[in-house]
Amino acid sequence: MGEAFFYHLTEDNLETTLPILVGKAVEAGWAVEVRTPNAEMAEHLDLALWQGGKDSFLPHGVAGGDHDALQPVLLTLPDQAAANGATCIVSVGGSDVSPEETLSSQRVMVIFDGMDPDAVARARVQWKLLTGGGCAAKYWAQDMGRWIKKAES
């Protein structure tokens, strides 16, 4: 039974945080779907993941390619199924994740921009939807460069 981790970005941006969190999921042996709201964000994150850190390489693809099923990390759009058999779903840009998906996954990560009031409001709605659907959830916030667990359902 999976659980949802909510990551409230207040110090680092998505382009810095995403490779770290997705890298940890891949290290755990999980196939990852990064669910984006639109093609522009998918393309932007594709580039960010390729650039990564100095000592990192995070193999991934954008859904719609010839080898989607082989990708350890697959960036998708709302209407695309993750052909890589994802056991970890990462929601960015306010992309929806259902309680059913959460319960059948190893982990769901909802990453949101803490400086954007609309993103914070959307994350609150997502928290209520998932916890109301029987999912365990943890809320993490950045504090002086560290992630601190602030709430748990």
Task: Write the CATH number of the domain with boundaries 3-152.
Answer: 3.40.50.10110
Tokens 């954007």 -> residue:
116
Report the half-sphere exposure of 16 (CA within 13 A, side-chain side): 8
The pLDDT value given to residue 44: 94
pLDDT for res 51: 77
Percent of the chain at pLDDT > 90 equals: 87
Percent of the chain with pLDDT over 70: 96
pLDDT for residue 104? 96
Cβ neighbour number for residue 95 with a 10 Å cutoff:
22
Cβ(109)–Cβ(69) below 8 Å: no
Are the C-beta atoms of 122 and 8 separated by less than 8 Å? Answer: no
Q: Would you state the pLDDT for residue 122?
A: 98
pLDDT at site 52: 65
Give pLDDT, residue 53. 61
Residues of the chain with pLDDT under 50: none
pLDDT tens-place string over residues 55-90: 667 889 999 989 999 999 999 998 898 999 999 999
